[in-house]
A and B are shown apart, each in its own frame.
Chain A
Amino acid sequence: MAVCFRCHRFGASAPSSVDHHRTLARKNKVWPASVPSLLAGHEAIRKWGFQMKSFNGYPLNVVSSQKEEPYADHSKAKEEQIDSTVSITVVGASGDLAKKKIFPALFALFYEDCLPKHFTVFGYARTQLTDEELRNMIGKTLTCRIDKRENCGDKMEQFLERCFYHSGQYGSEENFLELDRKLKDKEVGKSANRLFYLSIPPNIFVDVVRCASRTASSPTGWTRVIVEKPFGRDSQSSGELTRSLKQHLTEDQIFRIDHYLGKELVENLSVLRFSNLVFEPLWSRKFIRNVQLIFSEDFGTEGRGGYFDSYGIIRDIMQNHLLQILALFAMETPVSLDAEDIRNEKVKVLRSMRTLQLDDVVVGQYKGHTRAALFIDNARWDGVPFLMKAGKALHTRRAEIRVQFRHVPGNLYKRNFGTDLDKATNELVIRVQPDEAIYLKINNKIPGLGMRLDSSNLNLLYASRYPREIPDAYERLLLDAIEGERRLFIRSDELDAAWALFTPVLKELDDKRIAPELYPYGSRGPVGAHYLAAKYKVRWGDLISQYS
């Protein structure tokens, strides 16, 4: 197996040039089965190169093939890459997110040969640490893919050797200037690209961005900044944050992460819709009765409620993760899969939505459990309730999308269903986590001499179909940021539209000091949620008892 195919992308760095692909194509005679016919002569190679570029560096794929095809030997290609380097600075290196997610994700990318040949990782924080201490700290959280343990120790060592630490204040241009010097040492004359990951509290976002952009921007390559929620706490504060960031950065330097968009099954949503004939005809108010976006955690704030209490679950989960999934789910077909085309469609959905009303929201304790009914006032979705449910300390941990279809008009088997036809409708479930799966509930005859129907599932369980470990969302998003792929990041107009939907109701909740309904730890949440669903004739799919 060619090394490159561990990393399932062509370009390990920013989208490669047409020439590069042409060279690749000439040099390597190994092609996927269907490609040679497509690529008769240089013309086609050029075309392909062009396609590759427009397609954001994704490889051509052979759909019928279940195996990975060694398209080209990428290790050779890497030798020829232009001499550029990437420096990734994790600001807030001693924090929890950095330790648990960012460094492990960077290592996984390195392990899979997805990082550029020349790269440097810097930790930046106020704590005094040596490089060695940083490495010790990081070393504890690194793991190799379960299915590939070869050379794991070697690889870790190689990775850690490229990790360094710089201690400094977040508001000190001088400290960042020192960092700049260290970065230059590592970059040694190569074309330098720099990525800053702000793994810090939001109140110091702007300080860091100011200092970093003034004194540690790359003079020769790109400089990008990844920021993570919270992006403000309402329209106004979010608007301010965006304005401040834009004093120092242009929009295309800002990579707003919503890590749910990096989850495998959220990525797959568009593939399901747009590459399968059997789904798209059903994707509208004509066939879909309601859509449910469900997020639950089976633990509470567990002593870390400080941050959470000032935001609440509406800001923490709904306004970003669930709303982003909703937008992806409901958007019209984009012109292409390019980032701007997709984000244009998503922002249209958000702007077609009705501002959330107080009577369409049920809030649980400490806003730790909330349900909301949203509506998209466009031709496709008019009248279809999109129900969101998010909660902590519930009986189960899961994130899923449930699409409940209408009942069969004039159902010939209605006698088999009793009076409630809505109980026997089809449902498509996309389980984002845990145990990734897609399944479609269908009515089926129970085998036997009688004529009894049940609801059975057409199943796709990822664990049984795809033995490989699924990469963490942060791996995908970090790689995308390095490659300049913006599809899965939030554009500022999307963010504005998202806040516009939620801000009035958040304000009303705060102003009126509306008391949340209490619910027991580990229960299914407050009863009010059922009334909300019932108001729109919806049953929560995750609470319907299963005979399956």
Chain B
Amino acid sequence: MALSAAKCPSSSAARLSLGHPSLRSSTLLRPFPNSSALARRVPSRSFKNWNLNVVCKQEAGAVPASSSAEEAPSKNVENGGLFGLSSEEYGNAIGLDASERESTVSITVVGASGDLAKKKIFPALFALYYEDCLPKHFTIFGYARSKMTDAELRTMVSKTLTCRIDKRENCSEKMEQFLNRCFYHSGQYDSEQNFAELDKKLKEHEGGRLPNRLFYLSIPPNIFIDVVKSASQSSSSKDGWTRVIVEKPFGRDSQSSAALTRGLKQYLEEDQIFRIDHYLGKELVENLSILRFSNLVFEPLWSRQYIRNVQLIFSEDFGTEGRGGYFDNYGIIRDIMQNHLLQILALFAMETPVSMDAEDIRNEKVKVLRSMKPLQLEDVVIGQYKSHTKGGVTYPGYTDDKTVPKGSLTPTFAAAALFIDNARWDGVPFLMKAGKALHTRRTEIRVQFRHVPGNLYKRSFGTDLDRATNELVIRVQPNEAIYLKINNKIPGLGMRLDRSNLNLLYASRYSKEIPDAYERLLLDAIEGERRLFIRSDELDAAWELFTPLLRELEEKKIAPELYPYGSRGPVGAHYLAANYNVRWGDLSASETT
């Protein structure tokens, strides 16, 4: 294939490749004189040209698995996906100079022996490598306190690597090549000396190329600052960029979060900090803005005039299962609502940004968060799962977990009603629900529309017009899908209506495996794309909404409502919804069958 270099759909090769066609396959990153300049320049530049990705052959192969509502079997003249410039045009357009210095990226996973690193970070890095999305020169370092050789790290990492289901060619060969680039350095998290040793090793591998360095902090939050201090002082890149990915928890309230931000900013610029919320890397969350802003049929409906309520639902069908130690200190509100669900809400509800650039989007998101009122205790229901025996199997309650303190009041379930006091959303309840040990595992966004005013078919609906309203469902996981519930005539001689779905099931439309959120986010961090990372003012605004409530829950020692393991959660959630004339869409009859 001619454009083999463009195998990675979002690769630096496509975004920043050289103008000369023969050099197109090289993956040189553009060298930047210093990190801060880079940080400011890259995102807007690469981002504005993101349509370049369209050249990738790899995704051009993402032709639908089946085309159920098949049109005329006509010729492929205007493939809707292939809009935009070719990489060649782009290379010429930005006029890069082939004489510039070659660059390299070193990715250091701090806390390399931890669970997240093993399950998510290394596999995501390998997937990026496999898809040709990493720069040509890259090095991966594991850093942790345990003593380990490079070989031991490689053995550990290799156990979790997999190739895409749909592309098994050269898989083991690729794995070997990847593992050969993985190294390990053992050191204390707060030792500048140990990080200076790391710096030496990194330099060896960088071999004089322009060094860019990415640190992934896969460690407990209490040592964030130590690591950042040591790394920034003794292993920052001297003439490339240095970026740090941190993951939640970002504090446990406004105050501690602000302290963390201040601590980080002693050593890092805001634009070096990449705060991950991996829900923002999920395919259907990314797709939210496309649905809204590239389809005429949705945007006119996107307001209080047509939308009755919005539901953001997260549920897991398992409990803490022996790993409740960390969770107990945070609870479901901090773990899921204040970050994942609130981020989705902000993306859903924001005004149209000036552009799809990171700062424009984050400006709009923060406006939404700042238009919201802090949560009130009466708008929240909390729950905690208790032991439940079903079919001879006993499922443990939350407090049966040995890592959880006896008598813990930490909520494992919460439901909340939030409001955005702006012109678009005034009075529309945004209901959130998050819980562990429920009957199902799923994450979805449900948009319930108002009833049809003066409905001609009202006699066909009985008295409750609200039952027969349209609903748009965006199922983030599992089985990604978008569907719109419409009222439709049941075929036949009578005039009976039902609710049917206009469906888009990803599995039947797109045959390719959907990349894990971590792949997207790691790649974005390498490319300096900040759109899907949380800016500090967003984080502050998010904590401000939840902090008073969290404090009140803890000070008043409010007991969570108990619900059986594997159930649909506490009844209180229904009363909360009923207060605002809302029915939970995920519990309606047609959804649970």
> Can you list the 3 inter-chain pairs with the closest CB atoms, starting with the nearest?
A8-B494, A450-B9, A450-B53
Judge whether B498 and A65 touch: CB under 8 Å: yes
- Give chain A nearest CB distance to B30 CB in angstroms: 19
| Residues in A whose Cβ lies below 8 Å from that of B497 | 61, 63, 271, 275
Known: A277-B451, A449-B133, A546-B67; 13 extra A-B contacts, CB below 8 A, are: A109-B493, A275-B452, A408-B299, A416-B294, A442-B291, A442-B297, A442-B298, A445-B290, A450-B14, A451-B10, A452-B53, A459-B502, A468-B492
Q: Check B72–A542 contact: CB distance below 8 A.
A: yes
A-B contact pairs, 6 of them (CB 8 A): A8-B492, A59-B496, A268-B489, A278-B449, A281-B301, A460-B501
For the complex, what is the distance from the CA of A32 to the CA of B472, rounded to whole Å? 26
Which parts of B265-304 form the interface with A (CB within 8 Å)? 283, 286-287, 289-291, 293-301
Residue of A nearest to B449 (CB): A277
Which of the candidate stretches B202-210, B318-326, B404-412, B512-520 sits at the interface with the other chain? Answer: B512-520
Nearest-CB residue, chain A, relative to B80: A455
Which residues of chain A (63-99) have a CB below 8 Å from chain B?
A: 63-66
Contact A272 B488 (CB under 8 A): yes
Task: Report the minimal beta-carbon distance from A426 to chain B, rounded to whole angstroms.
Answer: 5
B54 within 8 A of A: yes
Bound together, the chains give a CA A416 to CA B520 distance in angstroms of: 19
B62 in contact (CB, < 8 A): yes
Secondary structure type dominating chain A contacts = loop
Interface residue A479 (Cβ < 8 Å from any Cβ of B) = yes
A46 neighbours in B (Cβ, 8 Å): none
* B contacts with A: majority SS: loop
Q: By the criterion CB–CB under 8 Å, are A458 and B81 in contact? A: no
Contact A9–B301 (Cβ < 8 Å): no
- Which chain A residue shows the least CB distance to B283? A447
Bound together, the chains give a CA A272 to CA B75 distance in angstroms of: 31
Do B62 and A448 touch across chains, with their CB atoms under 8 A apart?
yes
Given contacts A412-B355, A449-B131, contact A34 B463 (CB under 8 A): yes
In the complex, whether A280 has a CB less than 8 A from a CB of chain B is: yes
Query: Which residues on the A side are within 8 Å of B455 (C-beta)?
Result: 274-275
How many chain B residues sit at the interface, stated as a range, is: 35 or more
The interface-forming segment of A305-313, A432-440, A509-517 is A432-440
- Contact pattern, A 212-248, Cβ under 8 Å of B = 1, otherwise 0: 0000000000000000000000000000000000000
Cβ–Cβ contact B9 & A264, under 8 A: no
**Set A270, A445, A453: member contacting B83, Cβ < 8 A:** A453
At the interface, yes or no: B479 with Cβ under 8 Å from chain A? no
Query: Does the CB pair B290–A447 fall under 8 Å?
Result: no
Q: B199 contacts the other chain (Cβ, under 8 Å)?
A: no
Tell me the complex Cα distance, A424–B81, Å.
9
Please give the distance in Å from B6's CB to the nearest CB on chain A.
10
Residue of B59, B463, B500 touching A37 (CB-CB under 8 A): B463
Given the complex of chains A and B, what is the CA–CA distance between A99 and B432 in angstroms? 61
Rounded to whole Å, the gap between the CB of B447 and the closest CB of chain A is 10
* In the assembled complex, B220 has its CB within 8 A of some CB on chain A: no
C-beta contact mask, B474-509 vs A, less than 8 Å → 1, else 0?
000000101110111111111111111111101001
CB-CB under 8 A for A408 and B51, given A59-B494, A63-B468, A444-B290? no
Asked whether A470 is an interface residue with its Cβ less than 8 Å from the other chain, the reply is yes
Residue A458 contacts which of B59, B128, B483 (CB distance < 8 angstroms)? Answer: B483
> Interface with B: A17-25, A317-325, A331-339, which one?
A331-339
Q: Which of A51, A274, A424, A475 contacts B80 (CB 8 A)?
A: A424
Chain A residue at minimum C-beta to C-beta distance from B458: A275
B282 to chain A, nearest CB (A): 10
Q: Is the CB of A63 within 8 A of B487?
A: yes
Taking a contact as CB atoms under 8 Å apart, the answer to whether B469 and A271 are in contact is no
A475 touches B515 (CB 8 A): no
B residues neighboring A (CB under 8 Å): 8-10, 14, 48, 50-51, 53-54, 56, 58-59, 62-64, 67-84, 128, 131, 133, 283, 286-287, 289-291, 293-301, 306, 352-353, 355-356, 449-452, 454-457, 459-464, 467-470, 472, 480, 482-484, 486-504, 506, 509-510, 512, 514-515, 519-520, 523, 588-590
Chain A residues near B (Cβ < 8 Å): 7-9, 32, 34-35, 37-38, 51, 55, 58-66, 109, 112, 114, 264, 267-268, 270-272, 274-282, 287, 333-334, 336-337, 395-396, 405-408, 410-413, 415-418, 423-426, 428-429, 431, 436-440, 442-462, 464-466, 468, 470-471, 475-476, 479, 542-548
Give the residues in chain A near B499, CB-CB below 8 Å.
63-64
Q: Are B72 and A396 in contact (CB under 8 A)?
A: yes
Tell me whether A408 and B491 are in contact in the complex, defined as CB-CB below 8 angstroms, given that A418-B84, A449-B519, A459-B503 are known contacts: no
**Partner pick for B456 among A274, A407, A429, A466, CB 8 A cutoff:** A274
Chain B residue contacts of A287, Cβ below 8 A: 296-297, 300
CB-defined contacts of A426 to chain B, threshold 8 Å: 295-297
Residues of A within 8 A of B283 (CB): 445, 447
Name the contact of B59 in the complex, choosing from A51, A280, A448 (C-beta under 8 A): A448
Known pairs A60-B462, A412-B353, A450-B59; A114 contacts B493 (CB<8 A): yes
* Complex Cα gap A359–B441 (Å): 60
The reply to whether B295 and A443 contact each other, CB–CB distance below 8 Å, is yes
Q: Quick check: A413 and B356 within 8 Å, CB to CB?
A: yes
Contact B293 A412 (CB under 8 A): yes
Structural contact, B59 and A546, CB atoms closer than 8 A: no
> Contact at A479–B493, with CB atoms within 8 Å?
yes
Q: Knowing A416-B54, A450-B54 are in contact, say whether A271-B489 is a contact too (CB < 8 A).
A: yes
Say whether A546 contacts B72, CB under 8 Å. Answer: yes
Task: Select from chain B the residue with minimum beta-carbon distance to A268.
Answer: B489
Q: Judge whether A8 and B493 touch: CB under 8 Å.
A: yes
Given contacts A64-B589, A406-B296, contact A547 B131 (CB under 8 A): no
Distance A546 CA – B491 CA, assembled complex (angstroms): 28
A446 touches B59 (CB 8 A): yes
Query: Could you tell me if B83 and A446 are in contact, using CB atoms closer than 8 angstroms?
Result: no
Q: Give chain B nearest CB distance to A313 CB in angstroms.
A: 20
Question: Which residue on B lies nearest to A55, using beta carbons?
Answer: B459
Q: Do B290 and A424 touch (CB < 8 A)?
A: no
For B498, what are the chain A residues with a Cβ–Cβ distance below 8 Å? Answer: 63, 65-66
Choose among B56, B298, B452, B467 the residue that contacts A280 (Cβ–Cβ < 8 A). B452
A34→B74 CA distance, assembly (Å): 48
A112, A276, A416, A455: the one contacting B493 at CB < 8 Å is A112
Which residue of chain B has its CB nearest to the CB of A437?
B69
Q: Cβ of A458 and Cβ of B67 under 8 Å apart?
A: no
Task: Give, as a whole number of angstroms, the nearest-CB distance from A226 to chain B.
Answer: 17
Closest residue of B by beta carbon distance from A469? B491
- Complex: how many Å from CA A287 to CA B70? 25
B483 adjacent to A449 (CB under 8 Å):
no
What residues of chain A lie closer than 8 Å to B56, measured between beta carbons?
Answer: 450, 452
Interface contact B300-A281, CB-CB below 8 Å? yes
Give the nearest-CB partner of B8 in chain A: A449
Q: Nearest CB to that of A408 among chain B residues?
A: B296
List chain A residues, Cβ under 8 A from B59. 446, 448, 450, 452
Nearest B-chain residue to A409, judged by Cβ: B296
- Complex alpha-carbon distance, A438 and B491, angstroms: 13
Closest chain-A Cβ to B241's Cβ sits at a distance in Å of 20
Measured in the bound complex, the distance between the Cα atoms of B283 and A412 in whole Å is 19
Nearest chain-B residue to A274 (Cβ)?
Answer: B456
Chain B residue with Cβ nearest A112: B493
**Least Cβ–Cβ distance between B516 and chain A, in angstroms:** 10
B71, A275: Cβ atoms closer than 8 Å = no
Known: A471-B491, A546-B71. A413 touches B293 (CB 8 A): yes
Report if A417-B83 is in contact (Cβ < 8 Å); known contacts: A275-B452, A282-B300, A546-B67: yes
Q: Is the CB of B457 within 8 A of A271?
A: yes
Docked Cα-Cα span, A220 to B201, in Å, equals 105
Contact partners of B300 in chain A: CB under 8 A? 281-282, 287
Chain B residues with CB under 8 Å of A425's CB are 296
Given the complex of chains A and B, what is the CA–CA distance between A279 and B301 in angstroms? 10
The interface residues of chain A lying within 8 Å CB-to-CB of B63 are 547
Which chain B positions have C-beta within 8 A of A458? Answer: 482-484, 502-504
CB neighbours (8 Å) of A424 from chain B are: 80, 83, 294
The minimal Cβ–Cβ distance linking A454 to chain B, given in whole angstroms, is: 4
A399 to B69 Cα, complex, angstroms: 14
Chain A residues with CB under 8 A of B494: 7-9, 58-59
